[in-house]
Amino acid sequence: MRNNDIDSLFSFIDSSPTPYHAVENMVQTLKGHNGIELIESDDWECKAGNLYYVTRNDGSIIAFRTPKIIDFSKVAYNMVAAHTDSPCLKLKPFKKDITGNYMQWGVSIYGGALLNSWLDRDLNISGRINYIQEGELQQKLISIGDLFFRVPQLAIHLDREANAGLKLNSETNMVPVLGLNDDEYSFEDLLLERLDVKGVEAKDISAMDLYFHESQPCSYGGMKQEFIFGPRIDNLAMTHASYEALLADSPNTKVSLIASFDHEEIGSSSPHGASSNFLNSVLERITIALGGSREEFMKALTRSYLVSADMAHALHPNYEDRHDGVHRPLINQGPVIKMNARMRFATDSQTASRFVLLCRQADVPYQMFTGRNDIPSGSTVGPLIATKLGVSTIDVGNAQLGMHSAREMAGSLDHGMMIKVFSELFAE
């Protein structure tokens, strides 16, 4: 079941080990489609029929396409929001003391990671390094993909009860091994080599955001290649689907917009997370840059529609009892509409009905999901944005297994179907 949509997704995920790399890859793709960069600290001028993008703190991005004709009696925003971050192991500012002759570096657990999935895997390191060069602050992305590191699991002989219930201490049991101690070559020396900036020494590295991540590239799986396996499917798959649909250049009469936020996995409370003013600010500035007023912006919001796109839990064949007996999403059966009576998802009957219509217009099947009452639901950026903007919002996603694992699993058909539905939305 190989297809171009999945091949493109694989390329995106493999080259986007961190939110910063994901945004940089999206920027390069948008530039290749004549996208025009906007800077938040500059004046904006937007024209009809153009593609624009704006980033914040390198980890969040908003891109949009203006309609061919601007009519403020009809202007509205059709939006898809996703996120660029995934659970992982983030390096602490300073390394852990040497234990025996092992060189290690402490980590913080970023997001709700399945810790056991990070054991005995070949890990790479990527992220951004901030440094001082000739009195000026500088920054550079790095990705160490040719060296491998590991969190080794304790042998069964030293923990006879491991198979009865493995318990991992997130502080002491998850520290990766970088190598053997060498007084002449440190991890900082390695970073300086990869930074490859003349005149910069270890003392010039002022701070860094570095992450361990799965090294194995994405792949197809299953007897008929009906599955896809890979890291960060949650939620780079939805980020990729949204910008693939935006790049299609549909004959839109509304502003088509995608927003991909960092920090969703840790609550979105940051200056560039979904709880920030990023999206609200950009929407109002688009309206003004197109010649509208704040009054017209507020009216446009009432006509707008937001699709919060985040992966969904597929029925797990080994844990059927963890699902509602009827609402059990299946892989390769189309987009999943997510509902929750406590509004952990922003979907209601009106927003769901509109998405159902989009699916029918795109000739794509859809599924409904709601969880068990005795198993609390997770949440998404949807309720956060809906609360701030007052925009009609729905939560959807494609079904997957192994969510928050170092390596996840989804369907090879679902991705293309979601792109079709997003394309239908952006064609309005």
pTM reported for the whole predicted model:
0.96
Contact 399, 367 (CB under 8 A): yes
**pLDDT given at position 250:** 76
Report CA-CA distances (Å) from 141 to 14, 128, 210, 315. 15, 4, 10, 38
**CA pair distance 139, 285, nearest whole angstrom:** 28
- φ/ψ (deg, to 5) at 410: -150, -170
Query: Could you report the per-residue pLDDT of 15-31, keeping only the tens digit for each?
Result: 999 999 999 999 999 99
Mean pLDDT of the chain: 96
Is the CB of residue 315 less than 8 Å from the CB of residue 328?
yes
Quote the tokens at residue 126: 């990527």
Q: Which of 97-106, 325-334, 358-367 has the lowest mean pLDDT?
A: 97-106
Would you say residue 1 has pLDDT above 70? no
Q: By C-alpha distance, which of 92, 121, 123 is closest to 107?
A: 92
Q: Are strands 60-65 and 51-56 parallel, antiparallel or unpaired?
A: antiparallel
Give the Å distances, CA to CA, from 304 to 27, 74, 254, 390.
25, 10, 9, 9
pLDDT of residue 2: 76
- pLDDT single digits (tens) 376-425: 888 999 999 999 999 999 999 999 999 999 999 999 999 999 999 999 99
Q: pLDDT tens, 75-125?
A: 999 999 999 999 999 999 988 778 999 999 999 999 999 999 999 999 999
pLDDT bracket for residue 282 (50, 70, 90)? very high
In sequence order, what are the residues at sequence separation of 6 or more whose Cβ sits closer than 8 angstroms to the Cβ of residue 256? 64, 65, 78, 246, 250, 425, 426
Whole-number pLDDT of residue 377:
84
> Mind listing the domains of the chain with CATH numbers?
4-85+231-426 (3.40.630.10), 88-214 (2.30.250.10)
Q: Tell me, what's the pLDDT at 249?
A: 78
**Residues 254-265, mean pLDDT to the nearest whole number:** 98
Cα distance from N-terminal residue to C-terminal residue, the chain? 30
* pLDDT computed for residue 134 by the predictor: 93
pLDDT in the model for residue 264? 98
3-class secondary structure per residue, 314-372:
CCCCCCHHHCCCCCCCCCCCCCEEECCCCCCCCCCHHHHHHHHHHHHHHCCCCEEECCC
pLDDT tens digits along 222-242: 999 999 999 999 999 999 999
Share of the chain above pLDDT 90, in %: 93
* Cβ atoms of residues 218 and 9 within 8 Å: yes
Burial of 32 (0-12, 13-18, 19+ CB in 10 A): exposed
Q: Which of 245, 251, 218, 283 is nearest to 82 (CA)?
A: 245
Q: How far apart are CA 211 and CA 180, in angstroms?
A: 20
pLDDT higher than threshold 70 for residue 172: yes
Four-point Cα dihedral 74, 80, 81, 83, nearest 10: -150
**pLDDT confidence band for 4 (50 / 70 / 90):** very high
